Structure 1
Amino acid sequence: MTQTDSDGTVPPDVEIARNASRRPIADVAGEIGLEGADLERRGNGVAKLTWDAIDRELDAPADGNLVLVTAMTPTRRGAGKTVTTVGLGQALAQQGESSVVAIREPSLGPVFGMKGGAAGGGYSQVLPMEEINLHFTGDIHAVTAAHNLVAAMIDAERTHGNALDVEPDSVAWNRALDVNDRALREIVVGLGGRVNGPPREDSFLITAASELMAVLCLATDIADLKARLARIIVAYDTDGAPITIENLECVGAVTALLKDALRPNLVQTIEGTPAFVHGGPFANIATGTNSILADRLGLRLGDYLVTEAGFGADLGAEKFVNIVSREGIAPDVAVVVATVDALEKHGEAMLERREGPDDDGSEREPVADDRTEAVRAGCANLDHHVDNLLAMGVPVVVAVNRFPDDTDGEVRAVLDHCELRDVPAAVSTVYRDGGRGGLELAAHVREAAEPGSASLEPSYDLSMPIDEKIRAVATQVYGADDVEFTPQARSDIERLRALGLDDVPVCLSKTPASLSDDPGEAGVPFGWELTVRELYPSAGAGFVVALTGDVLTMPGLPADPAATEIGVDDDGSVRGLF
């Protein structure tokens, strides 16, 4: 049961989590047909599934409905996709459905940086929140260790004879750390004489950006994991030929570090709904969603699997349809999360663009008389994402994630707009009210997920040339007029073709703050071209990455890091996790 403070505010997430009554994990597992022998317990509230259980369940048919939670173009305040995912799973359970939630594991970077915890919030979060936000089952640490083992093997190869003829300037595999540290973006290794190896420039990325994380979330079993690891390109020789992890002869060692991390983690929501928290690939240069294994299990263990994709639908949902779904995981319905805050921001941009400057070139006075007018105008951005998903053959439900400062008029304006467009929509208050705050949303989802409602239509065919795949995403999904490829990008495309990677999906890295490649362009930009400046292979993950702007794969801490608010009481309880 939810409780608010006397002034109507919701207690801090950590306080709610600490006071929640948790069911034994065996009871949670039993609800979806798993037995005690199927679990490897990591404490009372966490368990990894055994391989026997995974193999057995994957032999069964996948009868569940996949609900993909995504969003309109978000603001810094966030859209609330994880909260909505967890809350919707709880709401479906309250309506008597067998539901399973699946989300990514939080990276320590955001936890200690700007975002804070990533286990949901309020009365729609996964438990145990403290453990999930910190070390959890060690999956991310395993990826960090495996990534750095490969980096060490490359430098050892160069130190001890360099039989693979590694060209030092072509080493594509850097080092990893699951903490935001801007000082490690560009470094030099091997200083201090021959005993420390040949010097070269290097860098660190955050563990979530490692290709190993993407591979972990796309692999279907240990054999598939080994095959994907073997083909990861880590460097090139002096003739330009690729050098892989298989060439370094460490596929077995890397697999040994990742084999347990490949098994999904079972926990529960604050209302006891079963939840998988597994994997955590970057949402820009990778798929930005949890693991294929967790999704496949959820579709067999529950009637509904509720999962989420990172960023807005132009990035997360697009990658889910064009990359993840090609692995056999297709959404039956998508929930697009909208907020008044985001609608207002995009609406102001639309109104300013519509009005333009005065005749003398000076800027006009603000064009929105009140926030509601801007919210209505901002629905153009919401429509863009809804239309994209409908064009991809996925039914859509809009969830208006209500914040305390939203007025009834503003919320009503969004619902009225959706009604005019004949798009199902509901207000979600799952942060404050738990599953009870998502019952109307759940009813719409159940209706939209009727058999035969979805007929997936990817944005491109895999047989298309790389540049045409990118153009398809840019024009159909982003709304660009065309694509400009820099000379470097054209050269990269030729190299990818020579590597035999012209028949795989493309993973476009673009700012999440805009539909365009300019983070300052809110609303629905028009009359613009997407610029692709560089491409590189993620051969193990099975896609090609196209960079359309500067991408920070190693974030830095902000001026006021969330780490300054975190502490530990004398009894060992962690406080300050948001």
Structure 2
Amino acid sequence: MLTDTEIVKQATTQPITDIADKLGIQDKYLMPYGRDITKVNIDALLEPNNRPNSQLILVSATTPTPAGEGKTTTTIGLGQAFSKLGDSVCLALREPSLGPCLGMKGGATGGGYSQVLPVDRINLHFTGDFHAITAANNLISAAVDNHIFHGNALNIDPRQIVWRRVMDMNDRSLRQIVLGLGGKMQGIPREGGFDITAASEVMAIVCLARSFNDLQRRLNNTLIGYSYSGEAIFVRSLGITGALLALLRDALHPNLVQTLEGTPAFIHGGPFANIAHGCNSILATQMAMHHAEWAITEAGFGFDLGAEKFFDIKCRMAQLDPAAVVLVTTVRALKMHGGMDKNQLTTVNTEFVRKGLENLDKHIENVTTFNKVPVVALNRFHDDSDAEIAIIRQHVEQKGFLFAQSDHFTQGGAGAIELAEKVKLAAQDSKPFKPLYQLEESVVDKIRTVCKAMYGAKDVAFTKEAEKDLHHVEALKLTQLPICIAKAPSSLSDDPLLHGRPKDFQVTVRNIQVNAGAGFLVVLTGNIMRMPGLPKDPAANKIELLENGEIIGIS
């Protein structure tokens, strides 16, 4: 098998204008970034909808493991399979963050014969959306500190500033910092910190905004802190909303690229469903549905994190309802959830596969909780045995669910034909999704519902800090907002070391942050951090720029 880089070198791409033409997008709406990338102006959505009966497919996965489940790769391969079947299809994916690209995870453009192109540009700076969001976020931070420095007419209490700076890089040393050191002219000393850009509320606002007017409204409603008297202070009081909109002008428009096989793909919005809502933008999803009969999107990490937020936040806000749900798993992942050492996962072992099925079963149950029926996709690796795969297929089919083995990594769209056919079959009997909770329920009840129903928790405990946060939410009269739980992605519990299907555990809620502009409450559990750190041997050590301008080592 060729390497990802070698496969990309052999690819013959179409001009991005041809890809847009395939979707019926007029040239006047294109904002090209060279031959291979273009933004599509959101005004294209105002044109008559030539795909009024477009169906949305959601791809999610079982609990992630170091072996990788290949959710994005499966999404890309599935889209290519629809193209091979002669169907009109468009993907709607999330943008990669530089943090994991240079850290532990690597890039997020797929792999093998199921990749989106151009790999290096998408994984690095792409069209600058992350940089624009970083700049907008940090303008708010700068404006807050500047306001305090120049007299503090809003009476902002530096001890109660809730707005944090961000950067699109894994840097654990910036999680907690002290600002304003160095004397009177350097600002007012106070504690602060950095989150990663993907976890910024500005990222969520861009992903959930439906128009520039909606973007403006959400930015104005963003909470930055409290006054000495306890009054809430929002971005609108700083007088910088116009500048924020200027910084985000281009970032709001979705980005169009293509797969190795020429399937259109909108890539727009941030990842990290463990510390953010983790979905691609509503506008990108709408753009895909507006211009194709089938739109395929993804939500992760596991279904318990990304897909729950997809349904309870994104679908609720945008009136979306997927016709089918694909649940991706692998033999390796199930073996690890069954207790097998991560260094032995390539060894054939049917016993550990059987034990790991309990993790798959929990995610299947989670899908049905939303009134959806999953199609289980086995993303095949070269060292998977037929006996191991047969166990999974038999288990899923005995439960009455559709199962498909997918070889999209080695075969591209041709390897995902069985999966595409099963998805189309499932879409014929789709029922409206049912939210996990009602917005009118108390915040505590909503948190308990998600923790018990999605994670399998026995109960939820709230720290004293979380209880104080609840009082703030009640005082702001924002209890009706949906919740966005930040939790360890490698476990159904809030303990990252518990694999399989943990039972009789308690989830600890340590903080609740108000994201009034985005329109949800961020619930921090366990020891989850919103600024990751780099591993001992980061992916950045493998990236090189050759003399001919080619970048290698990104995967």
Same fold flag (TM > 0.5): yes
Corresponding position of 2:36: 45
Q: Please give the per-residue CA displacement for 1:320-376, whole angstroms capped at 9, x wherever unaligned.
A: 111111021221111000111111122238xxxxxxxxxxxxxxxx9xx97111111
Corresponding position of 1:162: 152
Correspondent of 1:374 among 330, 352, 357? 352
Whole-angstrom CA distance in 1 between matches of 2:471 and 2:180 = 33
SS at match of 1:507: strand
1:518 matches 2:509: no
* C-alpha contact (below 8 Å) 2:275/2:529 kept by paired residues: no
Whole-angstrom CA distance in 2 between matches of 1:314 and 1:78 = 16
The CA deviation at 1:281 is 4.4
* C-alpha contact (below 8 Å) 1:506/1:545 kept by paired residues: yes
Corresponding position of 2:245: 255
* C-alpha contact (below 8 Å) 1:465/1:503 kept by paired residues: yes
Corresponding position of 1:185: 175
Which residues in structure 2 correspond to 1:9-28 (within 5 Å)? 9=1, 11-28=2-19
Whole-angstrom CA distance in 2 between matches of 1:370 and 1:293 = 44
Corresponding position of 1:549: 526
Corresponding position of 1:103: 93
Whole-angstrom CA distance in 1 between matches of 2:51 and 2:393 = 37
* C-alpha contact (below 8 Å) 2:54/2:295 kept by paired residues: yes
Q: Runs of 4 or more off by more than 3 Å in structure 1?
A: 59-62
SS at match of 1:348: coil
Question: Which range moved further: 392-401 or 46-55?
Answer: 46-55
Question: Which range moved further: 547-556 or 163-172?
Answer: 547-556
Residues 1:281 and 1:118: Cα distance change in structure 2 (over 3 Å): closer
1:398 matches 2:376: yes
Residue 115 of structure 1 aligns to which amino acid in structure 2?
A: K
Corresponding position of 2:548: 571
Corresponding position of 2:330: 339
1:457 matches 2:434: yes
Provide the alpha-carbon RMSD of the alignment: 1.7
* C-alpha contact (below 8 Å) 2:462/2:510 kept by paired residues: yes
Q: Please give the per-residue CA displacement for 1:435-494, whole angstroms capped at 9, x wherever unaligned.
A: 0110000000001011x5122111111111111111111111111222222222222112
The CA deviation at 1:95 is 0.6
Corresponding position of 1:217: 207
Corresponding position of 2:193: 203
Unaligned 5+ segments in structure 2 are: none
1:315 matches 2:305: yes
* C-alpha contact (below 8 Å) 1:123/1:430 kept by paired residues: yes
Correspondent of 1:484 among 458, 461, 465? 461
Corresponding position of 2:365: 387
Residues 1:341 and 1:271: Cα distance change in structure 2 (over 3 Å): same
The CA deviation at 1:303 is 1.1
Residue 460 of structure 2 aligns to which amino acid in structure 1?
A: V
The CA deviation at 1:193 is 1.6
Whole-angstrom CA distance in 1 between matches of 2:306 and 2:41 = 30
* C-alpha contact (below 8 Å) 2:79/2:89 kept by paired residues: yes
Q: What is the aligned length?
A: 550
Whole-angstrom CA distance in 2 between matches of 1:135 and 1:370 = 40
* C-alpha contact (below 8 Å) 2:110/2:116 kept by paired residues: yes
Corresponding position of 1:80: 70
Residue 398 of structure 1 aligns to which amino acid in structure 2?
A: V
The CA deviation at 1:240 is 1.8
1:241 matches 2:218: no
Whole-angstrom CA distance in 1 between matches of 2:481 and 2:50 = 29
Whole-angstrom CA distance in 1 between matches of 2:366 and 2:443 = 21
Residues 1:243 and 1:281: Cα distance change in structure 2 (over 3 Å): farther
Corresponding position of 1:129: 119
Q: Please give the per-residue CA displacement for 1:75-126, whole angstroms capped at 9, x wherever unaligned.
A: 1122100000100000011111111111111111111111111111111011
Correspondent of 1:297 among 282, 287, 298? 287
Residue 487 of structure 1 aligns to which amino acid in structure 2?
A: K
Residue 504 of structure 1 aligns to which amino acid in structure 2?
A: L
Whole-angstrom CA distance in 2 between matches of 1:404 and 1:490 = 50
Whole-angstrom CA distance in 2 between matches of 1:81 and 1:40 = 29
SS at match of 1:169: strand
Residue 327 of structure 2 aligns to which amino acid in structure 1?
A: V
Corresponding position of 1:431: 409
SS at match of 2:216: helix
Q: Please give the per-residue CA displacement for 1:413-434, whole angstroms capped at 9, x wherever unaligned.
A: 1111111111111111111110
1:276 matches 2:266: yes
Which residues in structure 2 correspond to 1:494-509 (within 5 Å)? 494-509=471-486
1:472 matches 2:449: yes
Question: Which range moved further: 78-87 or 184-193?
Answer: 184-193
* C-alpha contact (below 8 Å) 1:122/1:432 kept by paired residues: yes
Corresponding position of 1:356: none
Q: Give the % identical residues.
A: 48
Which residues in structure 2 correspond to 1:408-419 (within 5 Å)? 408-419=386-397
* C-alpha contact (below 8 Å) 1:395/1:449 kept by paired residues: no
The CA deviation at 1:318 is 0.7
SS at match of 1:170: strand
Unaligned 5+ segments in structure 1 are: 1-8, 350-365
Whole-angstrom CA distance in 2 between matches of 1:223 and 1:150 = 19
SS at match of 2:156: coil
Q: Please give the per-residue CA displacement for 1:478-515, whole angstroms capped at 9, x wherever unaligned.
A: 11222222222222112101111111101111111111
Residue 36 of structure 1 aligns to which amino acid in structure 2?
A: D
Whole-angstrom CA distance in 1 between matches of 2:41 and 2:494 = 43
The CA deviation at 1:293 is 0.3
* C-alpha contact (below 8 Å) 1:14/1:130 kept by paired residues: no
Residues 1:17 and 1:370: Cα distance change in structure 2 (over 3 Å): closer
Whole-angstrom CA distance in 2 between matches of 1:275 and 1:576 = 23
Whole-angstrom CA distance in 2 between matches of 1:231 and 1:142 = 19
* C-alpha contact (below 8 Å) 1:333/1:454 kept by paired residues: no
Residue 433 of structure 1 aligns to which amino acid in structure 2?
A: Q
